[in-house]
Structure formats: C-alpha cells, structure tokens
Structure 1
Amino acid sequence: MTFGSGEYRYELVEGWDKLPKGWEWGWIPAVACDSQDRVFVNSRSEHPLVIFDREGNFLESWGEDILKDAHGIFIDKEDNVYCTEWETHCVYKFSSSGELLMTLGTPGQPGLEDGKVFRKPTDLAVASTGDIFVSDGYENARVHKYSPNGTLLKSWGEWGAGPGQFELSHCVRIDKDDRVWVCDRTNNRIQIFNLEGEFMTQWRNLLHPDTIYFDPTEDVVYIAEMDHQVSIYTMEGELITKWGGAQKSKNPGEFSGFPHGIWADSLGDLYVGQVQVDAGLQKFARVR
C-alpha cells in the first residue's frame, strides 16, 4: 500500500521494529535518527530509549535509570541525543553512546510560577550557533534559549493566540536559515521566529501540529498532526501531500493514535511515533 503522492510516495514497512523477546512498547511520543541512520525510539515503556538500525534490528537500549516520562527527542549534528521529559520537568543531553553530558532543569521540580523553567517541557532543538531552544508548553507558554553550556539566555512567550503567544508550545525546530519554528498546537498553527525570539510569520489552519522535521537535503517540512495525519509542505507553506485522513483509523499506514513524533533517515524513509495508543511506531519507506 502506497501513501503520499508525486515524488513523496511511501510504502508502509510492517513489522519493522524487532524488539527483544518479552519487551513491549507503550506510547511512543518521539523518534529520531542519527548520522549513521540509527533510529532512536523514545517511549513510555520499561525500556525508554531503544536503538535500532534502519532495517529494524535491535542494537541497544539505555536510560532506564534516568529517563522516566518521554515526550521529545532531538539529535544534533554531532550525534548528541537530547531527551525532553515533561512530567519530570527536565531535559537530558547524552552522548551517542548514552553517557549523560548535561541536565537542564531539576528532575521532579517544576518552575515555581508561570514563566519559570520548566513546567512540563515538550521538545528541544539546537541552532547552528550551538544555542539550545526548549519549548516549555503544557504549563508554561514559553520558549527558552540556552547557551551551549546550559546557561539560560532568555525566554519568550505568554498565554494567548496572538503573535508570540502560545496556548501549547509543543515542539521547537530550527531550519537551515536559523529560523525558530514552534508548534503552537492548541492554536492550530506554527509560529516562526528569529534566534532572538522576534516573531516573523506563522502558518495557520493546521490540524493540531505536534512535531515537525526538516529534510536536510530537500526544502520540505514534515508535520505530524495530532488529528491522525502526516503532512509534507514546501518551506513556503505549499502542501505537497498528506495521509491519514484526519480521522482515527486502524488501517495499516494510517493512525489509530495521535502522530506525535516524526523524523527521516538519510534515504528519506519516515518514522512516525504515536501517543494514546501502545506500540504506535510506523516506518514508511520512500518510493524512488
């Protein structure tokens, strides 16, 4: 079965992920690939961070003693792995082999008042400057900017639906031009800022955008939308293709849960994780 259209057509790879015997998936909020096409799956399971090769063969797992409540994942150009934990109010930076390098926030301790770091953070991205941006969305309408060594530089945002305001800053990503894209999920839009948090523009009329991914070789953006849909747009906002039907479906390749995490490997194959359903990881191999 083929999904998408034109140059962006995909085939579902059923049974792709080969978990060790006796292991089971819970919700899968986040997925990312490193420069070697290793696929990192961040889930709310007994084994929270599981790593596969692109063929779905199990390689290793780590983080069982640290990671408690998965929400977002990001892998930078040096293959450092950042895991955002919403219920424990912190972000962890690991080396590609699982060594803990840095912690942002205090595990288990939320910010004491609105605007303070962190109050159920959602995701993270790293700019070309090395600065770190964290979306802090469930109980904070904020984006926080950190230096590479973890010093808080600034925060922006407030509750609302106007430019620079958020109802749920659910994901942050940074494009090749160092523009900061923030999924403002409850407002059905993506807002775009410069690195200093100054509002530039916005995309409206999306279906509760959860997470986005920028293709490093093609000028397209992949959007996992909460309303059971994956969409692909040009960087100018023109819809290329979409699938999922914007309604709950148990059909293979569609979504019975909420698409929550999305990433592509070097060959353009897509990986989508879902919440509100267990074992909701799907791989879509690009047809060329």
Structure 2
Amino acid sequence: MVSALTKRPCAYVALGTQRYRVRHVSDPMLSGLSDVAVLGDRIVVLRRQAPELVILGPNGAMSGEGTDLPQFVCGHGLRATSANQLAATDMDGHKIVLLDETMHEITRMDCAERPGLGRPFNHPCDCTQGPDGRYYVADGYGSSAVHIFDPELRHLKTFGHPGAEPGAFSTPHSLLFDGQGRLCVADRENNRVQLFDGDGTWLGQIEGLYKPMALALTPDGLLLVSDQTPRLSAYTPNGDLVGRCRTFSTFGHGLAVQRDGTIIIAEMNPDRVTLLIPVPEGDTF
C-alpha cells in the first residue's frame, strides 16, 4: 500500500543530451486552449472561447488573469513577433490581430469577412514576422498557401497551392524563421516541414513526421516540431534529428520556448499546458 505521504516521482524526458523535468498545468481556465506564446516573463495562452487569452506566470502558475478578444470568432495561432507584440490568428474570422503587451489590439490584417481561395484570408492558422520586418501568414485550412505582407501590412505576394510536391501545401499549420533566416512551414497533412527563403523559394524539407502541428526554436537554435504521434522532435539547423520525446495529451497543438530553454506545450485532449524544464547537467534523478 502506498502511503498518502509518499511523493510521486516526476516524469523526465530527453531531447539529445538535454534532460527535462515534466510539469503539467491543468485548470478549467485552460479548457479550449489552442496555442501558447511567451511575452517577457509571462506565458500567454490562446483559447477558442472567452476569455480568449489567459496569462500564466513564468513557472506556469495560474494568475487568474484573462482577456477577452471580442473581435475573435475562433482563435487558432499565437506567436510573439517582438518583445512587446503578439500576432493572434482568428481561424474562422479570417484575420490576424496584432496585440501589444497589454493585450490590446494595435492593428489587424483581414479580408473584410470575404474569404476566398488563394487570397488573404481563408481560415488562416499562424502568423510570424521575418528578420526584415515582413509578416508571413500560413493560410492553412482553406487556401494551402503562405501570404507575405510588408511591415505596413500591405499584401506583397502569395506562394504555394494545394498539393504534395515541393512548394505545395496541405494545411500549412505553423510557421517561423529559424536562425539561418529560413522560413519553416509545418505542412501538416503532407507530414513534413518545408524550408523557404524569405521570398518563398523552396530550399528543402524535413520528413519523417506524422502531421506536424507546431514549431518553435530553442535558445541554441534547435527546431522543435510537435506532431500527432504524439511526440516532440528536435532538429539541428542542418535538419539532423537529435532527439525525440512523447507529448502527453492527444495533440501538442502549440509550442513556445522561454529564455531559459523551458519548452511550453499547449496540449489538447486533455487540455492543459505542459512545461519541459531543463535539468542542469550533473543533476541526478
């Protein structure tokens, strides 16, 4: 018989030589979550119901703070584009809303509620900002394309189309720029991450994934990819796989990384936030 005073062991995972201690954060305010981002010392969770934004402390502690996005229909993607700005994607409202550090709208990209195939927007999934200030939107569920906007949010070009060949997409679900200035796109239904330059020229791809969901970068430049296995994979800039671990719910739908290397996963079914906290070298279990 296990004593009520017996401390249960923590779970540990490893990505390459780095070990992580697993911490799950469950709370009714996290139900319906979709994505997660880090803004300063805060963890910001995007949900598909009000309040759409929920704030956690740096260690994952629930703050009780929530912010409504009344302009949203159904939130999907959330990404920090700078130290004081978030890009929040409204999948069914066909828009991207840029938020300041107080979670108030700065401006937006939208289609005046006129979605269309191959043009902005048609059920977008994610938005990121490139090194030169341009914005990139994965128009994932309806158009299977990526749209490029200048820093003033003027549409410049669209690349990609439905298909499976290099440069085509089937649900571009998440995107970011890596440390080499390449645009990485999680091409979910094609089971790969595609790599492009900033103008949409195809550079290569990472395969061996099962419906990749979310992308993030570690402080030392590893590309993290969650997929529907469910698992989390880490790749070098050369595309070499250095480590894998499982995620703990059905889907790791969103990813973010803190400055100290803590990996944050927005997990669905059950809905919760999971932190993978780096274990210093030499620490024992």
After TM superposition, the score normalised by the length of structure 2 is 0.89
Give the Å deviation of 1:278. 4.3
Partner of residue 140 from structure 2, selected from 137, 140, 164: 137
Aligned to 2:4: none
Computing the radius of gyration over CA atoms, which structure comes out larger, 1 or 2? 2
Note the residue ranges of structure 2 that are not aligned, 5 or more in a row.
1-10, 281-285
Q: Percent identity?
A: 24
Aligned to 2:205: 202
Paired residue secondary structure (1:14): strand
CA distance in 1 between partners of 2:22 and 2:114 (Å): 40
Return the letter of the residue paired with 1:72: G
CA distance in 1 between partners of 2:238 and 2:164 (Å): 22
Return the letter of the residue paired with 2:23: V
Return the letter of the residue paired with 1:96: E
Give the Å deviation of 1:224. 1.1
Aligned to 1:151: 154
The reply on whether 1:122 has 2:125 as its aligned counterpart is yes
Aligned to 1:33: 38
Aligned to 1:97: 102
The reply on whether 1:162 has 2:165 as its aligned counterpart is yes
Aligned to 1:258: 251
CA distance in 1 between partners of 2:29 and 2:100 (Å): 25
Taking only aligned residues, the RMSD between alpha carbons, in angstroms, comes to 1.7
Give the Å deviation of 1:103. 1.2
Tell whether the 8 Å contact from 2:249 to 2:271 is kept in structure 1 after alignment: no
CA distance in 2 between partners of 1:238 and 1:176 (Å): 15
Query: Deviations along 1:184-236, whole A, 9 cap, x unmatched?
Result: 11000111111111111111121211111112x30211111122111111111
Cα distance change, pair 233–184 in 1 and its aligned pair in 2 (3 A): same
Where do residues 172-251 of structure 1 align in structure 2 (5 Å cutoff)?
A: 172-215=175-218, 217-244=219-246
Tell whether the 8 Å contact from 1:263 to 1:270 is kept in structure 2 after alignment: yes
Aligned to 2:73: 68
Note the residue ranges of structure 1 that are not aligned, 5 or more in a row.
245-253
Tell whether the 8 Å contact from 1:110 to 1:117 is kept in structure 2 after alignment: no
Aligned to 1:86: 91
Return the letter of the residue paired with 2:43: V
Paired residue secondary structure (1:46): coil
Tell whether the 8 Å contact from 1:257 to 1:280 is kept in structure 2 after alignment: no
CA distance in 2 between partners of 1:59 and 1:81 (Å): 20
Cα distance change, pair 243–163 in 1 and its aligned pair in 2 (3 A): same
CA distance in 2 between partners of 1:221 and 1:5 (Å): 11
Aligned to 1:286: 278
CA distance in 2 between partners of 1:137 and 1:29 (Å): 15
CA distance in 2 between partners of 1:78 and 1:257 (Å): 31
Regions of 4+ moved over 4 Å = none
Return the letter of the residue paired with 1:100: E
| Of 4-13 and 172-181, the range deviating more from structure 2 | 4-13
Return the letter of the residue paired with 1:211: A
The reply on whether 1:274 has 2:267 as its aligned counterpart is yes
Give the Å deviation of 1:59. 6.3
CA distance in 1 between partners of 2:44 and 2:21 (Å): 21
Tell whether the 8 Å contact from 2:144 to 2:170 is kept in structure 1 after alignment: yes
Aligned to 1:4: 14
Partner of residue 44 from structure 1, selected from 34, 43, 48: 48
CA distance in 1 between partners of 2:46 and 2:24 (Å): 19
After TM superposition, the score normalised by the length of structure 1 is 0.88
CA distance in 2 between partners of 1:104 and 1:188 (Å): 28
CA distance in 2 between partners of 1:42 and 1:89 (Å): 16
CA distance in 2 between partners of 1:193 and 1:64 (Å): 32
Cα distance change, pair 226–66 in 1 and its aligned pair in 2 (3 A): same
